[in-house]
C-alpha cells in the first residue's frame, strides 16, 4: 500500500475512535462493545508500530488519557500480579501440601496465614519515600492501568505514611471492594458487587469514583527489598500499624484439618459479613519458605485459594454433545435451557467425562442442578430424579471419535493402577479434524506463538475454507484470497500478515510448548529447551530416538517421555516440526547473564538435604549457572549429596572436575 493510502486508513480509524470516545466518556452510552473498541485501538497501535511516520504528538497512544483499555495509561508491574490456584475440597488441600513437601524435599510442619478472599478488584500501590506515587490495576498481571487518582479517592488508602519504619520503596497490594449494603443502591446498574467496584474504579473522572463508596484491604506486597520481616502474619500486622486496613478475620493456622474446620465455619458465617467473600486464601506464613517455593507459570507454589461452594440453579438438559479436545479427550457437554446463575446466563455445562455420566446417570431430558463458581466452567451437580420422565433412555457414550471415527480408549495409569476416567481419540496427529483444529488454536495462543491477529474463530473459519490444515500453513496464507473474504479489508489483512510475521521469531521453549505435545506444558517445555539448547539438537534427539535422555531432567518422567514418543511416532507431527523449523527463527532460551555462577556448569549426584533437585536447579539458574545431566568435559562442578553414585564421582575425578559438598556449593552463592 502507498503511504497516502495508509495515512488515510489511519485517519479514518482515529476518527472512529474519537467518535466512540465521545459516546463512552461524554455521553456514558457506548455504541460498541469493549472488545470492538479494543480492536480499533489495536489496529491503530499496530499501524503506528509498522509505519513510524504515522506517529504524531496527538497520536492517541501518546496523548494522556488514551490507553490500553480506553482511558488509562499502562504501567508494567515491577513484580507480576499473579493469580492463585484453587482448591475445592480437602483432597485438593492435601495435594497442595504434598507438592510443597516434594519441592522442598522434606516434610515439615507448615504454618499458614489464613485470609478471607474478598471478591473485588486487586490493586497495586507504589509508595516511594512514604508517598503514594502510583496506583495500578492488575490488568493482565504483567501490565496494569494507571488509576492513581481514582484510588486516591478511597479513604482506606493512605496517601502518606507517617511511620518511621515504613519501607523506602514498596508496592502494597490489596483488594478494592464495595460493601453489600452499598451495592444494594446500585443493583440496577451492575450485575454484582465485583462489577460495581470495577466500574467505579475505572471511571475516567475520579469525582465519579468518589460517588461509589469503595473500600480497600491490604494483604501482600509486590516489589519490596525485605530482609527483616520473617512472616506474612507479621507483615499484615505492620500493614495495620502503617495505616492500612487489613481483614479482621485473618488468622494463623497449621494443620489441614484446622484449615478445613475453619473453612466450614466461615462458609456458614460469611452471610453475616458486610462484604462478599468467595473463599479463604492460605499462604505459607514463613516468607523465607515462600521465597524458596517461588512460582509456577501463573501462580505461587506457596498459596492457594480454598473456594466456598458456588451459586447454583436447576435447568433441563436438551442435548449432550461430545467435544474433542487438543489431546483427543472426549468431553461431554450438556446443552441446557438457559438459566441465570449468580448474575450470569448459563446455557452449557460440562459433564467432565464418561465416568461422571455413568456415576450420576445423567440423561438427555433430565432436570439437573448446575453449579457455577467464579470463572470455573459450570457443571452438573445432581439429577433431580423426581422430575425424571420414565421414557428417558440411558445416555450411551460413543465408542468411536465423533470427529474422525477412530477407536477411543481409556488409558491405563500405571501409577494409580486404574483406567483413566477420560476417554480419548487414539489419533495423535492431524488426521482427526477436531484435534487438528484444536492443535492449531493452541499453536497460535498467547503463551505459545502468540499470533493475536489470528483468533480462535478465524482459525475455524480458515479451516472451513480449506486455507489451513497444519500450523505451517499459517506462514503460507493466500492473503489475496483472504482480502476478498467477507469481513476482511486491506487493513485487517495487513495486520494479520504483520502479526504472523512477528511470530516467526520465537524462543525454543515457546515453540516446544506450541507444537502441543501432551504433558508438555509451559514449565516442561522450558525444561526441555534448557536441556537441548537449540531446535537442531532437539530434532537430532528425536531422529536418533534418544528421547530417554530427557529422563535426566528433574521434573521430566516416564509420562512425559512416553507422550513425546507417541507424538513423534506419528509422522505428520515430525514433518510439521521439520517444516516449521525451516520457516521460523527459533532462538535459544534467554538466560540471566549477570549472576555469580555465569559460565559455570553443575551436576548433582545423591540426595540433597532440605531441598529438591528442582529447587537446587532453579537456584543455580537464578544465578546464571546451568545444570547438566551427564558428566563430560564441559562440566565444572559435581555437587555431592547423600549416597552419591560412586561411578559418577569416579568419572568426575578422572576428568579433573571439581567436587563440592552441598555446603560448599551454597557458599559459592553467598
Interface ranges with ligand IVH (CB under 6 A): 82-84, 115, 117-118, 122, 138, 175, 219-220, 281, 300, 303, 305
Question: Which residue in 76, 89, 83 sits closest to 126, CA to CA?
Answer: 76
Residue 389's CB: how many other CB atoms inside 10 A?
Answer: 9
Residues 637 and 660: their CA atoms lie apart, in Å, by: 7
Q: Which is nearer to ligand IVH, 282 or 443 (CB)?
A: 282
Nearer to ligand IVH, 124 or 403 (CB): 124
Least Å distance between CB 622 and ligand IVH? 18
Instruction: Supply the minimum distance, in Å, between the C-beta of residue 417 and ligand IVH.
Output: 35
Beta-bridge mates of residue 315? 368
Please, are residues 502 and 492 in contact by the beta-carbon 8 Å criterion? no
Q: Give the residue with the Cβ less far from ligand IVH, 307 or 379.
A: 307
In whole angstroms, the minimum distance from the beta carbon of 258 to ligand IVH comes to 18
Minimum CB separation of residue 123 from ligand IVH in Å reads 9
C-alpha 233/C-alpha 219 separation (Å) is: 10
Closest CB to ligand IVH among 219 and 637?
A: 219
CB of residue 175 to ligand IVH, shortest distance in Å: 5
Which cell is 360 given?
Answer: 450420576
Using CA atoms, how far residue 445 sits from 430, 439, 448, 458, 585, in Å, is 18, 10, 5, 12, 18
Longest dimension (CA), the chain: 80
Looking at beta carbons only, is 217 or 635 nearer to ligand IVH? 217
Name the closest residue to ligand IVH (Cβ): 122
Catalytic residue among 117, 204, 231, 439: 117
- Across 401-470, the runs of DSSP E, i.e. the strands, are 408-409, 412-413, 418-419, 424-425
Q: Give the shortest CB-666-to-ligand IVH separation in angstroms.
A: 27
Is residue 410 part of the annotated active site? The answer reads: no
What DSSP letter does each residue of 165-177 carry, written as one string? TS-SEEEEEEEEE
Task: Please state, in angstroms and as integers, the Cα–Cα distance from residue 46 to each residue in 39, 123, 284, following that order.
Answer: 10, 28, 43
Strand-strand pairing, 585-587 and 412-413: unpaired
Helix (H/G/I), strand (E/B), else coil: 137: strand
Give the span between the Cα atoms of 130 and 105, in whole angstroms.
40
Residue closer to ligand IVH by CB (options 122, 203) is 122
Distance from C-alpha of 452 to C-alpha of 38, rounded to nearest angstrom:
13
Q: How many residues are present in the chain?
A: 670
Considering the complex, state which of residue 144 and residue 471 has its C-beta at the smaller distance from ligand IVH: 144
In the three-class reduction of DSSP (H, G, I as helix; E, B as strand; rest coil), residue 511 is classed as: helix
Within 13 A of 593's CA, how many CA atoms are on the CB side?
3
Of the candidates 548, 504, 505, 556, the one whose C-alpha atom is nearest the C-alpha of residue 530 is 556
- Return the active site residues: 117
Amino acid at each position: 500500500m502507498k503511504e497516502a493510502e495508509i495515512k488515510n486508513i489511519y485517519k479514518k480509524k482515529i476518527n472512529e475512535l474519537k467518535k466512540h470516545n465521545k459516546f463512552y466518556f461524554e455521553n456514558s452510552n457506548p455504541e460498541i462493545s469493549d472488545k470492538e473498541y479494543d480492536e480499533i485501538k489495536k489496529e491503530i497501535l499496530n499501524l503506528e508500530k509498522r509505519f513510524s511516520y504515522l506517529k504524531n504528538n496527538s497520536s492517541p497512544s501518546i496523548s494522556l488519557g488514551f490507553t490500553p483499555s480506553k482511558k488509562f495509561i499502562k504501567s508494567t508491574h515491577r513484580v507480576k500480579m499473579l493469580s492463585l490456584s484453587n482448591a475445592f475440597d480437602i483432597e485438593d488441600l492435601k495435594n497442595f501440601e504434598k507438592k510443597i513437601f516434594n519441592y522442598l524435599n522434606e516434610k515439615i510442619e507448615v504454618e499458614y496465614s489464613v485470609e478471607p478472599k474478598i471478591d473485588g478488584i486487586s490493586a497495586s500501590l507504589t509508595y516511594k519515600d512514604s508517598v503514594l506515587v502510583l496506583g495500578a490495576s492488575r490488568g493482565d498481571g504483567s501490565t496494569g492501568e494507571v488509576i492513581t487518582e481514582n484510588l486516591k479517592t478511597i479513604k482506606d488508602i493512605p496517601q502518606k505514611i507517617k511511620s518511621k519504619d515504613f519501607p523506602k520503596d514498596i508496592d502494597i497490594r490489596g483488594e478494592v471492594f464495595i460493601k453489600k449494603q452499598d451495592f444494594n443502591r446500585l443493583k440496577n446498574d451492575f450485575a454484582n458487587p465485583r462489577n460495581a467496584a470495577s466500574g467505579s474504579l475505572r471511571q475516567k473522572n475520579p469525582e465519579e469514583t468518589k460517588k461509589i463508596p469503595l473500600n480497600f484491604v491490604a494483604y501482600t506486597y509486590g516489589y519490596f527489598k525485605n530482609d527483616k520481616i520473617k512472616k506474612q502474619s507479621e507483615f499484615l500486622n505492620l500493614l495495620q500499624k502503617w495505616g492500612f486496613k487489613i481483614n479482621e478475620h485473618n488468622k494463623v493456622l497449621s494443620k489441614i484439618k484446622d484449615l478445613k474446620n475453619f473453612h466450614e465455619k466461615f462458609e456458614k458465617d460469611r452471610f453475616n459479613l458486610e462484604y462478599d467473600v468467595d473463599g479463604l486464601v492460605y499462604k505459607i506464613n514463613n516468607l523465607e519458605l515462600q521465597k524458596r517455593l517461588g512460582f509456577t507459570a501463573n501462580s505461587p507454589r506457596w498459596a492457594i485459594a480454598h473456594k466456598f461452594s458456588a451459586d447454583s440453579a436447576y435447568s433441563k438438559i436438551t442435548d449432550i454433545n461430545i467435544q474433542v479436545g487438543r489431546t483427543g479427550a472426549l468431553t461431554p457437554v450438556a446443552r441446557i435451557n438457559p438459566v441465570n446463575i449468580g448474575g450470569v446466563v448459563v446455557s452449557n455445562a460440562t459433564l467432565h467425562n464418561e465416568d461422571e455420566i455413568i456415576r450420576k446417570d445423567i440423561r438427555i431430558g433430565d432436570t439437573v442442578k448446575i453449579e457455577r463458581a467464579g470463572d470455573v466452567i459450570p457443571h452438573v451437580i445432581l439429577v433431580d430424579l423426581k422430575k425424571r420422565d420414565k421414557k428417558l433412555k440411558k445416555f450411551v457414550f460413543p465408542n468411536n471419535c465423533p470427529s474422525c471415527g477412530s477407536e477411543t480408549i481409556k488409558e491405563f495409569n500405571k501409577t494409580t493402577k486404574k483406567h483413566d476416567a477420560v476417554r480419548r481419540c487414539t489419533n495423535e496427529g492431524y488426521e482427526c479434524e477436531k484435534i487438528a483444529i484444536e492443535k492449531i488454536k493452541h499453536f497460535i495462543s498467547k503463551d505459545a506463538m502468540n499470533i493475536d491477529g489470528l483468533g480462535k474463530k478465524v482459525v475455524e473459519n480458515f479451516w472451513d475454507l480449506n486455507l489451513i490444515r497444519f500450523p505451517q500453513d499459517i506462514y503460507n496464507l493466500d492473503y489475496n484470497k483472504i482480502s476478498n473474504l467477507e469481513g476482511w479489508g486491506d487493513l485487517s489483512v495487513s495486520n494479520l500478515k504483520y502479526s504472523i510475521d512477528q511470530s516467526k521469531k520465537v524462543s525454543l521453549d515457546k515453540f516446544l510448548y506450541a507444537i502441543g505435545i501432551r504433558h508438555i506444558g509451559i514449565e516442561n517445555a522450558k525444561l526441555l529447551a534448557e536441556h537441548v539448547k537449540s531446535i537442531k539438537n532437539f530434532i537430532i534427539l528425536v531422529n536418533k530416538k534418544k528421547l530417554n535422555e530427557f529422563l535426566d531432567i528433574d521434573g521430566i518422567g516416564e509420562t512425559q517421555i512416553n507422550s513425546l514418543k507417541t507424538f513423534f511416532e506419528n509422522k505428520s507431527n515430525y514433518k510439521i516440526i521439520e517444516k516449521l523449523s525451516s520457516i521460523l527463527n527459533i532462538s535459544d532460551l534467554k538466560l540471566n547473564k549477570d549472576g555469580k555462577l555465569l559460565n559455570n556448569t553443575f551436576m548433582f549426584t545423591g540426595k540433597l538435604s532440605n531441598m529438591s533437585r528442582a529447587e537446587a536447579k532453579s537456584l543455580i539458574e537464578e544465578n546464571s549457572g546451568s545444570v547438566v545431566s551427564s558428566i563430560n568435559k564441559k562440566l565444572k562442578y559435581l555437587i555431592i549429596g547423600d549416597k552419591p553414585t560412586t561411578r559418577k564421582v569416579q568419572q568426575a575425578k578422572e576428568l579433573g572436575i571439581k567436587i563440592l559438598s552441598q555446603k560448599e556449593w551454597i557458599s559459592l552463592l553467598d
